[in-house]
Amino acid sequence: MKIAYLVNQYPSISHSFIRREILAIEALGVPITRFSLRSSVGKVVDEADQQELDKTNVVLGVGVIGLLTSLLKVFLTRPNRWLQAFILTLKLGWHSDRGILLHCAYLAEACVLLDRFSELNISHFHAHFGTNSTTVVLLNQVLGGPSYSFTVHGPEEFDKVGAISLPEKIKRAAFVVAISSYGKSQLYRWCEFTDWSKIHLIHCGLDDSFFSLPWQPITDELRLVCVGRLSEQKGQLLLVEAASKLVAQGYKFKLVLVGDGPLRTPIEEAIAYWHLEDTIEITGWATQTQVQQQILASRAMVLPSFAEGLPVVIMESLALGRPVISTYVAGIPELVVPGESGWLFAAGSVEALVTAMQTVLETPVSQLEEMGKIGAKKVAQQHNIIQEAQKLKQLFESVHLSPDSDL
């Protein structure tokens, strides 16, 4: 059994959870071939991602001529399969928000994969995210390639179910992974009940770089951290407004925003507008070690998101013994329990966010540490990457042994 992973862009700063999953499965004795549709050269900062970059096959690395050559080759050698895939491509493209032309590019990418799967003796493809990477492995299967499965994270997949043909992808998949119970329930909504047995809950996980760290006590410094891409859905603009209200009430504290993204300039403008230059710092992208250091230096991690799947950074914060402030969104309440491991508030409410931040700033360190320990215990039980990878390995093996498999 040899598994191949396909991701739109791998490795990536925001996809450390995929790297951990791949390495854990390999540690269990299953070789993984990495495929990325697009190159990540020059776009990774973590040393571990740099190492993954050297192991990853880039589909679009063949260039336009390579894509067209693969498309023609499959057309000539497998005309019936190619026609079936082309008809499906038109169907998927017609209903999508990306159009037929781009889906024809996905078909060409699937033809490139078809060339490689027999050469590398690949028995099954697994994609992360139910968007274009899953479209490519679906078309690859129709062309005569191996079976496929995929992991759905959300929220993007649930925002455009019809546009990405999610029901069709579930129907044709060997199995589908949801990263939270909430995500599993949403997949149930968008497929026939006869396909519910295909859908499995497997959490994103952390490795020993988190679990083996010695306990580090929380300092008395009034410091909060927010880790995430600077974008609308993460809610950092509301976080800046909430910080301004606390400063106006006389609170003196530090808020560190770890990350970068399209909303950086508006966030910097808001910081200047509220005269919060001495209160809020933006670090830009950070390595895993730097993220850990920022979390450990804080009293709590705050993530005021409007839309999520189940953020890995929440797992990381709790694993490091720091409670979390976040919202009642998607899978977050499955991990953050109010009064036990953190605080939850209504997404979009600045007033509720102010109250939650005020509570953290006023809570004794001893109580924060106790909450952090409760959260760390829960993460160790539910989000250990070796434990979760073992579940995924069993699913791969079940496909490999299935008499109905195309392998």
Q: Is the pLDDT of residue 404 over 80?
A: no
Comparing 402 with 31, which gets the higher pLDDT? 31
Question: What average pLDDT does this structure show over 48-61?
Answer: 94
CA-CA distance, 215 to 72, in Å (whole number)? 59
pLDDT (tens digit, 9 = 90+) per residue, 119-162? 898 999 999 999 999 999 999 999 999 999 999 999 999 999 99
Q: What is the DSSP letter of 218?
A: P
pLDDT (tens digit, 9 = 90+) per residue, 128-138? 999 999 999 99
Sign (positive or negative) of CA dihedral 118, 120, 122, 126? negative
Same fold: 3-205+385-401 with 208-382: yes
% of the chain exceeding 90 in pLDDT:
91
Q: What is the pLDDT of residue 402?
A: 67
Is 152 within 8 Å of 187 (Cβ atoms)? Answer: yes
* Contacts of 371 by beta carbon, 8 Å cutoff, 6+ apart: 323, 340, 341, 342
Cross-strand partners of 36: 7, 58
Q: What is the pLDDT of residue 406?
A: 47
Task: Tell me how crowded residue 162 is: count the other CB atoms within 10 A of its CB.
Answer: 11
Find, among 24, 34, 27, 26, the residue nearest to 4 by Cα: 34
Q: What is the pLDDT of residue 250?
A: 98
Confidence of residue 45 (pLDDT cuts 50, 70, 90): confident
Specify the residue for token string 């994270």: 153
pLDDT (tens digit, 9 = 90+) per residue, 189-212? 999 999 999 999 999 999 998 999
Q: Does domain 3-205+385-401 have CATH number 1.10.4160.10?
A: no
- The alpha helices in 63-216, defined as continuous H runs, are 63-77, 79-94, 99-119, 132-142, 156-159, 166-172, 181-189, 208-211
Task: Tell me how crowded residue 68 is: count the other CB atoms within 10 A of its CB.
Answer: 13
% of the chain exceeding 70 in pLDDT:
99
Q: Round the average pLDDT of the chain to a whole number and report it.
A: 95
Question: What average pLDDT does this structure show over 21-29?
Answer: 97
Find, among 127, 16, 24, the residue nearest to 388 by Cα: 24
Q: What is the pLDDT of residue 407?
A: 39
Structure tokens at 338: 């109010």
Q: Is the pLDDT of residue 397 over 60?
A: yes
Structure tokens at 246: 């606390």
200: burial class by Cβ within 10 Å (0-12, 13-18, 19+)? middle
The b/e string for 25-53 (b: 16+ C-beta within 10 A; e otherwise) is: beeeebebbbbbbbebeeebebebbeebb
Q: Is the pLDDT of residue 403 over 60?
A: no
Q: Is the pLDDT of residue 22 over 70?
A: yes
Q: Is the pLDDT of residue 280 over 90?
A: yes
Task: Tell me how crowded residue 401 is: count the other CB atoms within 10 A of its CB.
Answer: 10
Q: Is the pLDDT of residue 14 over 90?
A: no
Residue 279 main-chain phi, psi, to 5 deg? -105, -40
Is 295 within 8 Å of 257 (Cβ atoms)? Answer: no
Is 92 within 8 Å of 135 (Cβ atoms)? Answer: yes
Strands 300-303 and 175-178: unpaired
Q: Name the CATH topology of 208-382.
A: Rossmann fold (3.40.50)
pLDDT (tens digit, 9 = 90+) per residue, 60-111? 999 999 999 999 999 999 999 999 999 999 999 998 989 999 999 999 999 9
Q: Where are the domains of the chain?
A: 3-205+385-401, 208-382
List the 280-284 sheet strands across, edge first.
Answer: 280-284, 254-258, 223-227, 300-303, 324-327, 342-345
Cross-strand partners of 384: 206
Find, among 379, 387, 323, 328, the residue nearest to 352 by Cα: 328
**DSSP letters for 96-110:** SSSHHHHHHHHHHHH
Question: What average pLDDT does this structure show over 244-253?
Answer: 98
Is 55 within 8 Å of 34 (Cβ atoms)? Answer: yes
Does pTM surpass 0.75? yes
pLDDT (tens digit, 9 = 90+) per residue, 343-391? 999 999 999 999 999 999 999 999 999 999 999 999 999 999 999 999 9
